[in-house]
Structure 1
């Protein structure tokens, strides 16, 4: 019982630390400033993707919508959690703001930051996402993570499907990543 309590308390503390929650009362971030900050991060993340994976710009041009989380923070000590905020773009325009959360359990320690980019390649997949009250990768839509070949080009065999995704770190595209179980919720900004 004590071990389960410790694990539960650890998970709660980790999520609070990642999401930046505080117990102090102060001024809230101005929603317009928060939107500008997220949009700037989205622009930066897309530019980094286009520079590091040849062919990703062409995929983006074909996408019906692109969901970008420019700064997903992952941290863990046995219990892990991830949190980030981002925007959905349709035809190059931001149409909504979202948060992403993921939890995990297992051997892990440390923290890292990454960008998560999800491209809805069909109108049906985009509409299903936009009409959901809460969307979970692997449950509400299967996301095929795209790999980049040794030549730096997008591997077209992994760039198929209605929804495709990229995970980008400072070192470039992340190998062996998964988005399964990632929960996406609409932000009220």
Structure 2
């Protein structure tokens, strides 16, 4: 039986681990931009179709490194940048909390491609935008040839890639994005 103290301690440890190694601690805009450049270049080279997708998108939020950890309670955290016409316009953090059967840690990157003016405007106006039902997932395998059907049926296309670690799955549901000043 897990005591309340152990559960709270495990949750705290999971959140602390989730914050490690992903830019927490005042790394600043230059570090985030450098990581975003590396992530974008990796994405375009590894999955060539994403270059066309980015060209069609009105804006792309790149999250170069999200760290997720959990032991019953879990959390994830990362920082990235929103680019419009490949120019950084804002910086964001992504945070996620979860509860349930989970144990382990992982890191991954993701990109959100905003395909409509309304989706981009809603994202930028919000005090904290939560990934939800309007998100269409594309798999890394689709990254080589993301088709017309993927980009026309959803206002936001999400691509999760570069996973490493020992937690099954990486989804963005329940992730809250908040504008930050690095």
**TM-score of the superposed pair, with normalisation by structure 1:** 0.80
The 1:129–1:48 alpha-carbon spacing in structure 2 relative to 1, beyond 3 Å, is same
Say which SS state the counterpart of residue 185 (structure 1) adopts: strand
Q: 1:181 aligns to what SS in structure 2? A: coil
Query: Residues of 2 paired with 1:134 and 1:150: CA distance?
Result: 29
What CA distance in whole angstroms lies between the structure 2 residues aligned with 1:74 and 1:44?
Answer: 20
Q: Which of 115, 126, 139 is matched with 1:147 structurally?
A: 139
Correspondent of 2:55 among 58, 61, 67 = 61
Residue 8 of structure 1: aligned partner: 8
Q: Mind listing any 5+ residue stretches in structure 2 that lack a counterpart? A: none
8 Å contact kept, 1:137–1:182? yes
**What is the rounded CA distance, in whole Å, between the counterparts of 2:142 and 2:93 in structure 1?**
32
Partner Cα distance (1:147, 1:115) in 2: 13
More divergent stretch after superposition (128-137 vs 153-162): 153-162
1:6: Cα distance to partner? 3.1
Deviation at 1:168, TM superposition (A): 1.1
| Closer, same or farther: CA 123–9 of 1 in aligned 2, 3 Å | same
SS of equivalent residue, structure 2 residue 80: strand
Q: How many positions carry a matched residue from both structures?
A: 175
State the SS of the aligned residue for 1:15: helix
Which residue does the alignment assign to 1:37? 31
Cα separation, 2, equivalents of 1:149 and 1:39: 26
Q: How does 1:35-184 map to 2 (within 5 A)?
A: 35-138=29-132, 142-149=134-141, 152-154=144-146, 156-159=148-151, 160-169=153-162, 177-184=170-177
Report the Cα offset of residue 66 of structure 1.
0.6
CA distance in structure 2 between the aligned counterparts of 1:147 and 1:40, rounded to whole angstroms = 25
Distance change >3 Å, CA 164–CA 58, structure 1 → 2: same
- The alpha carbon displacement at 1:148 in A equals 4.4
**Contact 2:138 2:158 (C-alpha < 8 Å) held by counterparts:** yes
Call closer, same or farther: CA 1:184–1:48 in 2, change over 3 Å. same
Give the TM-score normalised by the residue count of structure 2. Answer: 0.83
* Offset, 1:18: 2.4
- Mapped contact 1:149–1:155 kept (Cα < 8 A): no
